Structure 1
Amino acid sequence: MPQLNPAPWFYTMLTTWLVLSLIIQPKLLSFTSTNPPSHKTLVSTKATPWTWPWT
């Protein structure tokens, strides 16, 4: 079966992986977030129970 032959695709996959990890990833990681996350305190709300009319 020709689709099981890794010879033409292995080098393509290896080249793509190297380009993504060595060239594109550092460029993407250099961007800074425009809205840094803020540390907000969690406000807990007390839920009121539902009153069922048939109970």
Structure 2
Amino acid sequence: MPQLDPSPWLFILVLSWSSFLIFIPPKLLAHTFPNEAETNKKHKSQTHPWNWQWH
């Protein structure tokens, strides 16, 4: 049964996953977003507590 012979398919599987794990992550990590979040806030947000009476 030829589908049980792992020699060509195992090599293709290992080669494809190794290329995926070597070439794709640096490309994804090098991506920069155009709108970066600011780490330092200019003003502190004011919060107001609710004065509701809970039953």
TM-score w.r.t. the length of structure 1 is 0.53
Q: Could you tell me which runs of 5 or more consecutive residues in structure 2 were left unpaired when the two chains were aligned.
A: 38-55
RMSD, matched Cα = 1.9
Identity value in percent: 41
Q: How many matched pairs?
A: 38
Gaps of 5+ in 1: 38-55
Query: Aligned AA for 1:24?
Result: I
Question: Aligned residue for 2:10?
Answer: 10
- TM-score normalized with structure 2 length: 0.53
2:16 & 2:34 partners in 1: Cα distance? Answer: 30
Query: Which residue matches 2:33?
Result: 33
